[in-house]
Amino acid sequence: MNFWQQLPKPIMAVAPMADVTDAAFRRLLAKYSAHTRKDGTVGGPDVMWTEFVSADGLLLATPEGKEKLQADLIYSEAERPIVAQLFTANPEHMEQVAALCRELGFDGVDINMGCPDRSIEKQGCGAAMIKTPEVAVEVIRAAKRGARHGEKDGIPVSVKTRLGYKEDQVEEWIVTLLKEEPAALTVHLRTRKDLSQVPARWERLTRVVELRDELSPETLVLGNGDVLSLADAEEKVTASGADGAMIGRALFGDPWFFHPTKQLPIHLTALPTHGVDRETIIKAATEEEGVEYITLAERLRVLVEHTKLFAELLPHKHFAIMKKHYKAYANGFPYAKELRIALMETSSPAEVEAVVKDFLIKQH
């Protein structure tokens, strides 16, 4: 079944980010972004991706290595629709692991053809596949075979990539991908050379949509890069004519991101960083705007919840991974720097909870 065709538009998706969008963070996004739409359905992230997983590793690693990789494929029903993102330059491996993902109950399989990490590129994967389009085509076809793409009991195959490698290659590279008719195509609107050092070129997504309409009308097109808020995502999608947007860095520290009426107070303008006036402004804005601004106590409570969930679900992962989240949670309020410094010294959920409790006591 192709779940993509059932999604409301514009589609708002959670980007796959290594050591960020793991099972713990995805569960929080599903929990705190959940809301009831006007039609009575439950809203939130429209689709989530796992962190990317090596298909080669799943097949060839040591038993211990395989166990760690398989842990990246755990998910809960609350996260649906959930897509497993894979990378490999080996078509045979892709076919086998796509079949595994289908058996594991994933709603779809996505192929990473955009990651700029050198260790990934050395394997001929990620963004390196832009330089070997003939391999990319074989990998897509293999994934479709394994996933039984298009069949009644199959799951859809999608691709995430970039505009090009060193330069804009929309007319060549994107055309190659569209001719393979993926269920969805997400384009990070920068080249591999750009990394994140230049603004995302959302204006180029219009051309991608035009090519889609010509070559593969059933393929959904999503844009990725520099999305700051839900409203910003909707504006970018409308301007480009795409089907949706994928959000990445803006999610850090904000599991409420996809909720239409809950926001962090960092979105308020002219908000003092210190003083009682800060809380007065937040309260007034909540009443006037019909938006529920998340309190500091709630924000830090969720930080602790996130930490405990990470330790419970992903005990094999290094605790230091959580600290990139702490930098985002502990930001934009009085004495946030001091809290961040204290959190960076922690090494367990119990220590994190104690630091947060002590910090909140000192605020009163």
Tokens of 316: 């094999």
DSSP 174: I
What does 37-104 look like in DSSP terms, one character per residue? -TTSPEES-SEEEPPPEEHHHHHHS-HHHHHHHHHTT---GGG-SEEEEEE-S-HHHHHHHHHHHHHT
Calculate the CA dihedral of residues 7, 10, 11, 12 and round it to 10 degrees: -140
Helix (H, G, I), strand (E, B) or coil at 219: coil
Retrieve residue 297's tokens.
Answer: 């106590």
User: Are the CB atoms for 88 and 94 separated by under 8 Å?
Assistant: yes
Residues 25, 309: Cα–Cα separation, whole Å: 8
Taking CB atoms within 8 Å and a gap of at least 24, the contacts of 319-326 are 319/346, 319/347, 319/348, 321/19, 321/22, 322/352, 324/19, 324/20, 324/252, 325/20, 325/25, 325/252, 325/253
Side chain identity at residue 146, one-letter code = G
Q: For residues 245 and 233, what is the distance between their CA atoms, to the nearest angstrom? A: 6
Which one from 48, 115, 233, 242 is the annotated catalytic residue? 115
How far apart CA 193 and CA 210 sit, in angstroms, is 25
115 is catalytic: yes
Q: Which of 128, 221, 131 is nearest to 182 (CA)?
A: 221
Task: State how far the Cα of 92 lies from the Cα of 56, in Å rounded to an integer.
Answer: 10
Asked if 331 and 266 touch (Cβ cutoff 8 Å), the reply is yes
**Residue 269 burial class via C-beta count within 10 angstroms: exposed 0-12, middle 13-18, buried 19 and up:** exposed
CA R_g for the chain: 21
Catalytic residues: 115
